[in-house]
Structure 1
Amino acid sequence: MLQWAQRRVQAAYERLLRREISGAPTHVAVIQDGNRRYASKQGGDAPDGHRAGAQTTERVMDWCKEMGVEELTLYTFSTENFDRPDHENQALFDLLEEKLYQFGDDDRVHDGEVCIRVIGERDRLPERVREAVRYAERRTADYDSFTLNVALAYGGRNELLGATREVARAVEDGELDPDDIDVSEIENRLYDSPVRDVDLIIRTGGDERTSNFLPWHANGNEAAVFFCTPYWPEFSKIDFLRGIRTYESREQSWRRTRANRALALVKALGGVELAEARSVIDRFRESLPEESSVEELGVEELEVESESSVE
């Protein structure tokens, strides 16, 4: 009876959250923390936690597609994880190999036209895992409805260092002029295919840090961050929706900040440049909260002040 009541309450809360959300981020990145701690809590070993976490991954993919998210990046294995016990990593590599082949053949992946890509230093992975990576990528290479990036042997600093070294070599070889180095030159050297800027980072397991994850695409885009306490295998749809709500709240706050900056600029311009001030506001119009208008930003008041000063 108690479990039935809990399910009813959770379902009601889920519906409430869904009604509060009007959109969704384009790119969600997840730090899947807590698999080993979950296994320990359940009296199992680390591989048990990783297998339970893999089930959560499949559910999150479904939730993303349901909400309209177009790209999902999963922090699955970091460069620091190589320092863990070998038997633990080998069990995880077994699971990764199995899941990559499974995803490459999964009807849901093909029906949903999911493109699977692996980012990271794949050369450091065992050959059997690299072969599974090639299989999943080859089988889904032509899809573009949804993108799943799996970060394996991944480290954000190493990623940026690698791109920087490539740029330096191109300059040294005379293939690139230093004055031509821009954002696109760096991005083209980060991955074989473009990765969208990250809108939302979710981290499970209770730690409040982003752990060197996608620094170029997340920090550069000032991504929203949602930290939650459930271990990754316990991560629920309610947790996911709360993360989306955090993203929306941050976006609304950022729009207000930009609107306030526009207002400050308008006031600084003064009456004689009022026409120019209006053009500035018009450029910010798409960034304003829906309930805002040019008049609410004070332009109408400035017009009155300007007319009074002329008289």
Structure 2
Amino acid sequence: MTLRIAPIRLSHIHAPVQDRLDAVVDEIRRIVVSDFAPVDEVNHYLLKIRGKLFRPGLVLLCDQLNGEANRTAETLAALIELVHLATLVHDDAVDHSVLRRGMPTVNAMWSHQVAIIMGDYLYSRSITEITRLGEIEPIRVIAAAANAMTVGEMRQLVSHDALAFGEDDYFRLIDSKTASLMSAACEMGALTGAPQHRDALARYGTELGRAFQVADDLLDYTADPAVTGKPSGLDLREHKVTLPLIHALPRLSRAERAEAEALFRDPEPSDEAIHALVEVIAAHGGLEYAREKALESAQRAHDALEGLPAGPVLEALHDSVVYAVERRR
């Protein structure tokens, strides 16, 4: 299947499972409820700033691939979203980020200590709930993903100021931090609804996650902050090395390399310095290269779906790949 170019709305992708996503939101609320007011206060805020349910949608689509819906998948979809939310809360605290989707982060609203505790709470509630289901395979899948994401966060932490961070390091990082959970989402959906396609859907999720993260890193260079809800050039501001910069670095002149090194030494680089480095990266093909790599992973995700049952769900899975690489926020 060839890639489309026009962006696709997430509502279009979720159409086959939209009514079930409402049940997922109810499950999320049920799972995180607490009789301890400080925890409940933060939970209430987190549910207001939660994402677009892309990963839970993948669980439900994969569950429904064979035409039937398993109610257990709605709980698993809620758990995937809670684990994802926990990683975001922890990441924001580690990075000292102040905005997430245009709203203050938990660490900005409360404190870094509260953010770490709340991330732990979301993880522990997820594990408590998944053990209640009494099935070992979903536990195995989500535990492996959580472990990979933890290692990935450490990789990212130690990569700051590391202009020697290479392309292999980068893809190892995004496989840990992003692709692992998307693969887990697809695999968990397969466990409840399409077990014969478990391996294919897990591969699909991995490649989808890679495409999603490369495209997301590219958006950091190209997107309008008013649309994304976060400052442009945030990765460079936080001294994170992503694929556009990795590709451009060997091609920089001596003067350009010196400017890049100066930016990474500066604890608070100026907007002008960030803008100048973005222009240099673009001039050396870094943005185009990242786009090509996102499309390569996207094509492999499409290929992983070959031979699966045709219908609206399969179309939605293909459209999810297009959404991952063509979205604007």
Query: Shared topology, TM-score over 0.5?
Result: no
TM-score (norm 2): 0.29
Instruction: Provide the TM-score with structure 1 as the length reference.
Output: 0.31
**Higher RCO (CA < 8 A, seq sep 6+):** 2
Instruction: Flag the structure with higher helix content.
Output: 2
- From the CA coordinates, give the structure whose radius of gyration is larger: 1
Q: Which has the higher strand share?
A: 1
